[in-house]
Amino acid sequence: MHSPNRSPVHGFDGGQSPLTLRLPDEAATIALGRELAPLLTPGMVIWLDGDLGAGKTTLARALLRGLGHAGPVKSPTYTLVEVYVVSSIYWYHFDFYRFNEPEEFEDAGLGEYFRDDSVCLVEWPEKAAGHVPQADLALVFRFAADTPESGRIIDLHACSEAGNKCLSAFISRWPGAVN
Ligand code: ADP
Ligand code: MG
């Protein structure tokens, strides 16, 4: 079973402590996505970590909407990747849930999507462990209680200098955010 509590941060020791936020309802997840969206810059990799139904796709959708994308944002569970061009930047939204082996990342030639001029949002990065590029920001969702109706708790980990910058900017904009 996927463990939402293991640390997604690898080998980056200049990072600040993760920021933990309580998201009492879907509206809070959407508000987070909209606030974070303008702080993401080309070249960044964002891992969205957490169990089924935790809110990963909801957050990805809110990010894209926050950038002005008006069309649908569907889960890439079956297509592996959905592509968006917003503000002249390529946004790739991945979901590796259906991978049987992490090597499928290479078989599908997905490395070429991770470029300086793209932002990659990755659901289920652990299913492509060792192949998917490391995160700049890792967003780790947990259920606040045992039911899907419960709110969520999210830890925002900065895993690179770009992630650090982004998290610092976010903290200065989000009321009550202190890590
Ligand atoms: P995932 O991509 O992680 O499998 P989805 O985003 O597809 O999850 O689904 C998450 C579900 O949880 C949706 O029904 C959404 O409305 C709901 N949801 C999202 N954020 C919250 C929250 N903070 N509290 C309660 N429900 C939420
Ligand atoms: Mg999803």
- What is the chain's pLDDT, residue by residue, as a tens digit (179 residues)? 344 444 555 556 667 889 999 999 999 999 999 999 999 999 999 999 999 999 999 999 999 999 999 999 999 999 999 999 998 899 999 999 999 999 999 999 999 999 999 999 999 999 999 999 999 999 999 999 988 888 999 999 999 999 999 999 999 988 777 66
| Ligand 1 contact, 55 CB (< 6 A) | yes
Return d(Cα 76, Cα 98) in angstroms, integer: 10
Q: How much distance in Å is there from the Cα of 59 to the middle of ligand 2?
A: 9
Q: What is the pTM of this model?
A: 0.93
Determine the Cα–Cα distance for residues 148 and 17; give it in Å rounded to an integer: 28
Q: Is 151 in the pocket of ligand 1 (CB under 6 A)?
A: yes
Amino acid identity of 137?
Answer: L
At residue 2's C-alpha, the angle toward residues 103 and 159, to 5°, is 75
CATH topology of domain 19-172: Rossmann fold (3.40.50)
